[in-house]
Amino acid sequence: MQVAIHLGAHCTDEERLLKTLLQNKGRLAKEGISVPGPGRYRKTVIRAAQKLRGKEASEDSRDMLIDSIVDDDSTERVVLTHEDFICVTSRIFENGMLYDKAGFKPTWLRNVFAGLPVEFFIAIRNPATFIPAAFRHKSQGMRDFEAFLDGVNLDQIRWSDVILAIKEANPDCPLTVWCNEDTPLIWPEVIREVSGHDPSIRLNGGFNILAPIMAREGMRRLRAYLASHPPRNEIQRRRILAAFLDKYALEEAVEEELDVPGWTSELVERLTEDYEDDLLEIARLPGINFISP
């Protein structure tokens, strides 16, 4: 059995991945892909990982855990997703680093399923918008922004460090990465990579990301256009989506709220430039499946 683990990150998904997969639960089950409800595994898996603290689970305990998560003995792949798998929101910058626990928490998760092939998936986001969103998200009552940052140097925040930490600690686990900003254009591919379903299978929810950020008239026209002009390939499909987004995107839905005391437009621009440079570095990392438009 394959185990696909979606690690978040925080403020990149809003459970849309899980909702889309659950929307297609029956169809995926016919392909041997299980999408359990979050109540069946999130607390259980985290507790198991904390109990083992990096040690490999015995075959018996692993199988007992899987039996509590998966109903069908014919399941070939199970998909687990939780933005708190690495840490809770208030500890994102613990010890003055972005996801300091990325070097060992994914390994703890992998070892819960010792002996089974495990894949990791993570979306990343421009720190200029990620940091304010994460602080507003659910920082467990933390009201002080400086305490939330825990001394992190904003100019040294690099997602590539997080990706490398995960990969170096788990060299045998495939790792797929994508940008939150690109999700509206690559959503079907993200779903396909995470679920592992046959590309010929058409799933529902392909517009779950687009619909909230595009005017209703734009969505209507897009659906009609795709029906009358089926794209020949993925690249053409993305170009069509980009064109419709450019024309019909809802300004209030795509604007980012950056109400951070002391943050200037110059800082936001600098963080964005660093992020764009970092994406080039991530795309060059060996062994990383980087989904881009």
Q: What is the pLDDT of residue 141?
A: 58
pLDDT confidence tier of residue 64, bands split at 50, 70 and 90: very high
Domains, in order of start, for the chain: 2-204+261-291 (3.40.50)
The fraction of the chain above a pLDDT of 90, given in percent, is 70
Cβ-based burial of 216 (10 A; exposed 0-12, middle 13-18, buried ≥19): exposed
Q: pLDDT of 18-43, one tens digit each?
A: 999 999 999 999 999 999 999 999 99
For position 168, what pLDDT does the model report? 97
- pLDDT score, position 14: 86
The pLDDT of residue 68 is 95
Residue-level pLDDT at 138: 60
Q: Residue 206: its pLDDT value, please?
A: 82
* pLDDT score of 237: 84
Residue 203 predicted with pLDDT over 80: yes
pLDDT confidence of 100, banded at 50, 70, 90? very high
Segment 182-200, tens digit of pLDDT:
999 999 999 999 999 998 8
pLDDT for 255: 66
Residue 9 scores a pLDDT above 80: yes
Structure tokens given for 151: 């001394």
Residue 252, pLDDT score: 65
Confidence of residue 274 (pLDDT cuts 50, 70, 90): very high
What are the tens digits of pLDDT across the range 139-176? 555 678 888 999 999 999 999 999 999 999 999 999 99
Taking residues 90-106, report their average pLDDT.
96
Q: Any idea which of 81-95, 157-171, 212-226 has the lowest mean pLDDT?
A: 212-226
Q: Is the pLDDT of residue 116 over 70?
A: yes
Question: Quick one: average pLDDT of 241-255?
Answer: 79
Q: What is the pLDDT of residue 13?
A: 87
**pLDDT in the model for residue 232:** 83
Residue 254: per-residue pLDDT? 60
Reply yes or no on whether the pLDDT at 256 is more than 80. no
